[in-house]
Structure 1
Amino acid sequence: MAGHSHWAQIKRKKAAQDAKRGKLFTKITREIIVATRIGGGDPSSNPRLRAAIAAAKAANMPKENIERAIRKGLGLEEGTQYEEATFEGYGPGGVAVFIESVTDNRRRTVSELRHIFSKCGGNLAEPGAVAWIFEKKGLIVIPRDGLSEDQVLEVALEAGAEDVRSYEGEFEIITTPEDFEEVKAAIEKAGFSPSSTKVTLVPKTTVKLEDEKTAQQMLRLMEMLEEHDDVQQVYANFDIPENLMEKLSGT
């Protein structure tokens, strides 16, 4: 998963630029509205809303924007009606791609996503085509910052983590969704400072992309999908060797 991990690092670096363009605010606002509509407006009893608000604060979204989105989710203010939709497809090299979206026009979203896949050498697939490849897991990312693998392993595994993956610049701690909060609390109590904490989808298997053109097409597909306003999250099971990923990303 080295290449995939490196893509995650690139995404985090891009987050500030996305916020400036307003794209990130748009995505978070939609997530707050949907999370509120489904689970209510109290973040203490609505984990999804709590996570969305945390993301909003991390992106420096104004407090009034957050409150307005919650009011819209509660139906106290008029606004566009959004629905959740998932889409599945195949990227270059047969990479599995799973997309979570929030849209006000499902037909338009399907058409635009199909165009993006086609443009990047992939194709949109039928529901159920690739969903089975991914499973829900807690993911906690910790920058190395002088930490040893043994230090992280000891704390994480004792707290109930399933796995700890070591990369050049960071550690990834994998948990079950049920143990996520407990492991996260233990990590923070130990004095570690996670750069990212979330419940996400993790692929059970990966597709290695060693051809430069194919890898480049895959990264382009990821970028175009994530830039789409209706797309909230994109998951893919590609594995690009670290040296090729660095060459393509210019890092």
Structure 2
Amino acid sequence: MPKTRIDSAISRGLGVSTSGAPLEPLTLEAIFHSAALVVDVMTENRLRALQDLKFILTKAGAQVTPSSYLFTRNGVILVKGDKDKVDADKVLEMALEIEGEGVREVEEEEGEEGEVLVLTDPAEITRVAGELRERVPEGVEVMSKGMEWVPNEDTMVGGLGERGEELERVVGALEEYQDVVGVYTNVREEE
């Protein structure tokens, strides 16, 4: 990876562009066939980013239209540690004591550490993450916190077939755009 791209990523993490201009948030919504997309962007030039991202979407056959009503904005806290110490029930109990909205266990693979995601109200994410840090046992850490668009369970779609591969290409193209922070879809993972 080129040094300039690394420096740009570090600057963006600090909330400024490489030119020193402050970054502004932008959310772009679209529908690709039956799948909803929400794209979070942090950019120094909203008009340029909007134009570039709309071009990527329309070229792929997506329609730029409201779709965030199919999602819920949640604070997400990742708790990670030894498998025997990270228990979704224990984390749920701690989270409920400090007013977390819900907990769901992340799939675990053999030999890997246990992980649990705590979903919270976006306004409470810092407080809940701080209190969880104080309460988790030794060997368990609060690894990260952030905001995510979580699809509403009753509006998720699946069975896209070939369109699923097209959607993956569109999501990949959006994620490659330097100002994009996250791309969220309401597509159910195939089992």
Tell me if 1:207 matches 2:144. Answer: no
Match of 1:96 in 2: 36
SS in 1 for 2:122: coil
Residues 46-85 of structure 1: pairs in structure 2 closer than 5 A: 79=20, 83-85=24-26
Residues 172-183 of structure 1: pairs in structure 2 closer than 5 A: 172-183=117-128
Cα distance in 1 for residues equivalent to 2:45 and 2:122: 31
The size of the alignment, in residue pairs, is 178
Match of 1:75 in 2: none
Tell me if 1:157 matches 2:105. Answer: no
Tell me if 1:29 matches 2:24. Answer: no
Match of 1:63 in 2: none
TM-score (norm 1): 0.59
RMSD of aligned Cα (Å): 2.9
Structure 2 gaps of 5+ residues are 109-114
Percent identity (aligned): 27
TM-score (norm 2): 0.74
Task: Check whether the contact 2:81–2:141 (CA below 8 A) recurs between aligned residues.
Answer: no
Deviations 1:139-196 (A, max 9, x none): 0122463122222222121121111112322321111123222321232221332333
Q: 1:159 to 1:230 in 2, by over 3 A?
A: same
Q: 1:120 to 1:164 in 2, by over 3 A?
A: same
Match of 1:196 in 2: 144
Tell me if 1:87 matches 2:28. Answer: yes
Instruction: Flag the structure with higher strand content.
Output: 2
Structure 1 gaps of 5+ residues are 1-19, 35-68, 73-77, 244-251
Cα distance in 1 for residues equivalent to 2:22 and 2:94: 44
SS in 1 for 2:91: helix
Task: Quote the offset at 1:105 in angstroms.
Answer: 4.5
SS in 2 for 1:195: strand
Deviations 1:94-146 (A, max 9, x none): 22212232345444433432332244442322xxx113333332101224631
Q: 1:23 to 1:136 in 2, by over 3 A?
A: farther
Match of 2:78 in 1: 141
Task: Check whether the contact 1:113–1:124 (CA below 8 A) recurs between aligned residues.
Answer: no
Deviations 1:198-248 (A, max 9, x none): 13333334422223422222222222111101323323222222x3xxxxx
Task: Check whether the contact 2:36–2:185 (CA below 8 A) recurs between aligned residues.
Answer: yes
Deviations 1:16-52 (A, max 9, x none): xxxx456465355246345xxxxxxxxxxxxxxxxxx
Cα distance in 2 for residues equivalent to 1:88 and 1:150: 35
Cα distance in 1 for residues equivalent to 2:123 and 2:27: 23
Q: Output the amino acid matched with 2:100.
A: A
Tell me if 1:217 matches 2:166. Answer: yes
Cα distance in 2 for residues equivalent to 1:180 and 1:172: 12
Tell me if 1:232 matches 2:170. Answer: no
Cα distance in 2 for residues equivalent to 1:153 and 1:171: 9
